[in-house]
Amino acid sequence: MTPSGAPAQQPPSRRIADFLRRQIESGELPSGAKLPSERALAEQHGAARNTAREAIRLLAEQGLVTARHGSGVFVRKPQRLFRFGSDRYSLKNRETGLTPFRLEAKRQGKVARIEVPSIARERPPADVAERLRVPADEESVVHRENHYFADDEPVQIVSTFLRWDEAQGTLLMQAKTGKDGIYGRLEDLGHVMTRVRDEISARMPTPEEATILELLPGVPVLEVLHTSLDQAGTPFEVSRYVHRADQTGLLYELPVEQEV
C-alpha cells in the first residue's frame, strides 16, 4: 500500500488523485480549500512533479477542482441551479411576471441571462415530431434555440419546437415574445397548459453542446424532453432541455394518487 491507501498497481497519478478525491468527499478538503502545490504533493507521495500535475488534471476532469491562474488549485464549490419541475409553470409563479428560468434563478440568488441565437422553420427531429404530432418529413415546426446563463455561467441549452402553422406571423417568431413569454402567446392561440410530461435521461454531451456549455472533459448532461399539453389534451409545445449536470439539479414534488 502507498501513503494514499490505494493498491500499488494503480498508476501513481491515479493513486494521488484517488487520495485527494477521498479527502474532498470526506470534507477534509472542504469546498473552496486550496490543494497542496504540485511540489508538495510529489514529495508527499514520492512521485515526480509531472505525476502530481496529472493527478490534478484527473480531478479537474471529474469537476472536483478548478485552477485559478496565479493562485493555485481549489476544491470546486457545488453550486446547482435547480429546476423546480412540479410547479415551474404554475399560475402562482406566472403572477410574478418572470419566466420560469428567471424566477428559479432569482430564488437562488443568481442573475439570469438568456440568448436566442436562432429562430428557424425546420423539419423536426423524429422524437419531437412524434410528441408534437406533426410530420417529420416536412418543415412543420419553428425551432427556437435559447442559451441560458446563471451569473454569466452557461447552464442549459433549450431547443423549443412549435407548430409552424400556429407560430408563423406571430411574436413566437421573435426573440422577445412579450408578457409571459412564449406561453403567454400560446395562450393567445387558445392553448392553456394543463398538464406537462417530462422525460429525463443522462448522457454525454455532443461536441457542440460541450463547447456552448463550457464543459470540462467527462462532465455529462441531463436531458429533459418536455411536452406541454393543453385543456383538450393536445400537445402544443415540445422543448429539449440540455443541462450541464455539474451545475443543475432537478426537483419534483408530486401528489400521490389515492384512488384505487
CB count in 10 Å sphere of residue 21? 19
**Length of the chain, in residues:** 260
CA atoms of 166 and 164, how far apart (whole Å): 5
Please state, for a pLDDT cut of 90, what percent of the chain lies above it: 59
In the chain, domain spans? 12-75, 81-251
Contact by Cβ (8 Å): 76, 65: yes
Contact by Cβ (8 Å): 85, 72: no
Question: Do 12-75 and 81-251 come out as alike in CATH topology?
Answer: no
Residue matched to cell numbers 505525476: 51
Contact by Cβ (8 Å): 75, 24: yes
CA atoms of 211 and 129, how far apart (whole Å): 27
For the chain, where are the E strands, in sequence order? Answer: 65-68, 72-75, 81-84, 112-122, 141-150, 153-163, 195-203, 221-229, 235-244, 248-251
Cell of 245: 449536470
Q: What is the DSSP letter of 173?
A: G
DSSP of 12-72, one letter per residue? HHHHHHHHHHHHHHHTSS-TTPBPPPHHHHHHHHT--HHHHHHHHHHHHHTTSEEEETTTE
Residue matched to cell numbers 494521488: 16
Cell of 8: 500499488
Contact by Cβ (8 Å): 167, 139: no
pLDDT band at 3 (very low <50, low <70, confident <90, very high): low
Up-side HSE of residue 218: CA atoms within 13 Å toward CB? Answer: 8
Three-class SS of residue 131? helix
CA atoms of 227 and 209, how far apart (whole Å): 21
Q: Is 3.30.1600.10 the CATH classification of the domain at 12-75? A: no
pLDDT band at 159 (very low <50, low <70, confident <90, very high): very high
pLDDT band at 204 (very low <50, low <70, confident <90, very high): very high
Three-class SS of residue 142? strand
CA atoms of 174 and 185, how far apart (whole Å): 11
CATH no. of 81-251: 3.40.1410.10
What percent of the chain is helix, strand and coil (3-state, nearest 5)? Answer: 30, 30, 40
Q: What is the mean pLDDT of residues 139-162?
A: 95
Tell which wins on pLDDT, 131 or 97: 131
197 strand-pairing partners? 227
pTM of the model: 0.75
pLDDT in tens, 217-245: 778 999 999 999 999 999 999 999 999 98
